[in-house]
Amino acid sequence: MLNKYLLLVLLLLLTSCTATNNDKPAPAPSTSENSSSDFHHPVTTSEVPNSPIAEPNEPANLAALDDVWLRIRQQMSVNVADRPEIAMERKFYSRQQKFLNDVATRADPFLYYIVTRLEQRGMPIELALIPIVESAFNPQIKGAGVSGMWQMAPQTAKNFGLKINYWYDGRNDAIASTEAVLDLLQYLHDNLENDWINAVAAYNSGEARIQNAIIRNKAKGKPTDFYSLNIPVKYTRTVPKWLALVDIVRNPERHQVQLKPIANKPQFAIAKIKGPVDLAQAAQASGLSLAQLKRFNTGFKRHATSPDGPHQLAIPVDNFSKFDPSGLKVQKLVAGQSYKIKKGDTLGSIAAKFGVSINQLKKQNNLKSNTLTVGNSIQIPPEAETARAKSASTYKVRKGDNIWTISKKLKIDAEQLRVANKLASGAELKPGQILKVPSASELAKKSSKKSKAANTSGLYTVQSGDSLDKIARKHKVKISDLIKWNDLKKSYMLKPGMKLKVSGSGSKS
């Protein structure tokens, strides 16, 4: 019977995720070595409140506690209603002692950090329990388009400042994702009647559903608290689960549950790194195994950090004093241009297109085989730009050539090739004719101008069911920018028909 309940827990975790979005991969790696001068030591930790070097100013009564669960319990303020759906979830969790033990083990490195950040921001301490519902505190878990301890969707994550690329996924970085989610929850609270339960419901089901329910209730003169909104449970499953856990943590003895102790002290400190570094070497320099280092740095997807810094590396407190960057060889990965793999591409065709060898491509991207995945991006060696400028700046027309076949051969847009050579549509080419081939930078510049021109009005008409989050995701901008461009108040309700700026230009009416 227990196994069936555990299976149900996992299934419910995967269904309690936020909305999904597609995501684009970024360039792949290259490798070379240099000195370790890109490390800062001693480490600057003013931005990291849980660092033992920063010495956060904690209230004495909280700092004196041994267990983070006790710290949470002393500050609880969210009211848990006496409702059957909460009672059902509470009964369920109270029977899952092994599950709760595993949760505590996974939460151990990060719960103190989350709790202290909530305290510093003046947010309800109970929000620290949301990752139990979303992921069982697993920062590496993936759902249907969502990922990480907080189960964030790609576009929502980007809207709140997280990076997602070939090297790194901020959703899986427990530290960075926590900051993004707390920003998101604060935004939802401020825009949904200053109600934290509404905010958690919107985090699960989307802002628009809760916002529309609030508008309906206001029109009918009804209250706008979460329970008065009468939203079907299937859309807000996180809420009763979260509140059930709040009740259990508030009084574990009453519910016959034991909460495995988690030390009430910082678990890691942050080292700031300018450039790329091999994680195995960083682990060795800290006196850790690679697995131990990765437990605290779950956002990194590759064996090294990306060419573009700076980066932060979380190192367990007990090992931080041992961390010696002087022996590390920092990889100086030069970020050459990237190329998105298309259907029909091979390493050979890409190498020929950019005037480099297959071996250079494989070395630049640390590839062990010739297999490519459509949609992924790979990095072109920096020397390829020079080779292309020399070999592909012009093209000599051969017998049987036309604009379309040449554009396919050179892997560029046929219309861009025609315009670059001022050719009439359908113009015939003659063998021996020399065509100008626009460079990658020229094509990118023209594409950018075209994109800007297409968005000169920068206005969007609000539709029924729209929310700021939905509009931000649709136009790939940040919610904070929408608020700034449109001079909106935090509690502003959108109305169908109104016009919003969705870029830095245009005007609101």
| DSSP track, 90-129 | HHHHHT-HHHHHHHHHHHTTTHHHHHHHHHHHT--GGGGG
Give me the pLDDT at residue 505, please.
53
Q: Kindly state whether residue 413 falls inside one of the protein's structural domains.
A: no
Could you give the CA distance from residue 109 to residue 104 in angstroms, rounded to a whole number? 9
Residue type (1 letter), 419: V
How far is it, in rounded angstroms, from Cα 166 to Cα 366? 13
CA–CA distance, 308 with 304 (Å, rounded to integer): 11
Mean pLDDT by 10 residues, the chain (509 residues): 44 43 33 27 35 57 94 96 96 97 97 96 97 96 90 92 90 96 95 96 93 96 96 92 98 96 94 81 90 95 79 91 70 57 80 71 82 84 49 72 78 77 80 80 54 56 76 79 76 71 59
For the chain, what is the domain count? Answer: 4
> What is the H or E stretch that residue 271 is in?
strand 268-273
> Over the range 179-194, which residues count as b (16 or more CB within 10 Å of their CB) and which as e?
bbbbbbbbbbbebbbe
Does 224 share its domain with 137?
yes
Q: Are residues 286 and 354 in the same domain?
A: no
Per-residue pLDDT, 111? 97
Same domain (yes/no): 183, 284: no
Report yes or no: 271 and 295 within 8 Å, Cβ to Cβ.
no
Are residue 85 and residue 158 in the same domain, yes or no? yes
The DSSP secondary structure of 473-492, one letter per residue, reads: HHHT--HHHHHHHTT--TTP
231 belongs to a structural domain: yes
Is 412 among the domain residues? no
In a domain, residue 405? The reply is no
What is the model's pLDDT at position 330? 54
Query: Do the beta carbons of residue 203 and residue 197 sit within 8 Å?
Result: no
H or E element in which residue 151 lies: none
Q: Dihedral of the CA atoms 41, 42, 43, 49 (nearest 10)?
A: 170
Cis previous bond, 42, omega within 30: yes
Based on the domain organization, do 121 and 11 belong to the same domain? yes
Which pLDDT does position 85 carry in this prediction? 95
Of 192, 222, 250, which residue constitutes the final position of a domain?
250
Buried b / exposed e along 6-33 (16+ C-beta atoms within 10 A): eeebeeebbebbbbbbebebbbbbbeee
Q: 225 with 183, same domain?
A: yes
Query: Which residue is catalytic, options 89, 119, 126, 134?
Result: 134
CATH code (residue 467): 3.10.350.10
> Two tokens at 383?
């020397």
- Domain limits for position 115: 2-22+57-250
pLDDT at 18: 42
Q: Are residues 187 and 115 in the same domain?
A: yes
pLDDT (0 to 100) of residue 27: 32
Residues 93 and 205 in one domain: yes
Q: Are residues 68 and 215 in the same domain?
A: yes
pLDDT at 80: 96
Strand spans (E) along 275-325? 311-316
Q: Quick one: which H or E segment has residue 501?
A: strand 499-501
Same domain, 72 and 44: no
Distances (CA, A) of 464 to 20, 234, 461, 496: 20, 22, 10, 5
Residue 385 annotated in active site: no
Residue corresponding to tokens 């878990």:
141
Please tell me the predicted confidence (pLDDT) of residue 444: 56
Do 325 and 357 lie in a common domain? no
Give residue 5's pLDDT: 42
* Triad 366, 371, 373: Cα angle to 5°: 95
What pLDDT is recorded for position 506? 44
Determine, yes or no, domain membership for 390.
Answer: no
Q: Which of 413, 509, 506, 507 is nearest to 454 (CA)?
A: 506
SS3 130: helix
- DSSP letter (8 states) at residue 323: -
Tell me if 257 is assigned to some domain.
no
